[in-house]
Amino acid sequence: GRNLVSDPISNKGLAFPLSERDRLSVRGLVPPRILSIQEQERVIMDEYTRGWAARAEQEPEDEIIKSGVSPDNIRKWKVLQSVQDRNEPLFYRILMDNFQDMAPIIYTPTVGWACSHFSQLYRRPRGMYFSHGDRGEMASMVYNWESDEVDAVVITDGSRILGLGDLGLGGLGISIGKLDLYVAAGGFHPRRVLPVVL
C-alpha cells in the first residue's frame, strides 16, 4: 500500500473507494474522507490560482495570522515540505543545520496554520489516520505502515490544537511536525517514527 500511494502513476490520493483501500492496503495511509479526482482538482486549482501565501495576506483577521505567522513563514513551510517530499535526507540536513531558524516554520507557530488548512495542503501520506469507522480494525491497519520497527509515535485526536480548537484530521500536522523535530534534534531515524491522528 505504501508503495502504491507513493507512486505518482498509480496513486489516486483520496479517490480510493473503501473497498480498494482494504484490498490495496492503503487504509489508514490516506485520510478516511473520499474525494473524487474532480474534487481534488478543484482544491489544486484553487491553490494554483490564488496560492496560500496570497490567501494568508487576504486573511488579516485570521487568528493564526494575528499570532505572528506571516505569509513568508507559510511560503517557507511549503518549500520545506516540497523538499521533504522529494529528498528526506536533504530535508533533515537542512533542518539540522538551520534548526533554530526553521523549528518555528515546521512546528509552532506555523504548523497551526498548516493544520487549519491541512485538507487543502494534503499531497501524500505522512502518517496514519484512524477514524471511528476503523474501530476493531486498527490492529490490522498498522501493518499498512512502511516500518515494522517504530521507536516513537506521536498521537493527536486533533482537538485543542494550539488554542485553535478541534481541527480533526488536520491535527496530524502537529504529530508530523513534532516528529520532524525529534528526528532533527533528538536523533530518531525518520523511518522509525509514526505520526497518528485518531
Which residues pair with residue 196 across a beta bridge?
128, 155
d(CA 173, CA 195): 9
In 3D space, the residue among 52, 50, 117 whose CA is nearest the CA of residue 79 turns out to be 52
12 is catalytic: no
Does the annotation count 129 as an active-site position? Answer: no
Selecting among 12, 122, 129, 178, the annotated active-site residue is 178
Tell me which of 76, 107, 122, 129 is the catalytic residue.
107
129-142 in b/e form (b: 16+ CB < 10 A) is: bbbeebeeeeeebb
Q: Contact at 8 Å (CB) between 83 and 94?
A: yes
Which residues are tagged catalytic? 107, 178
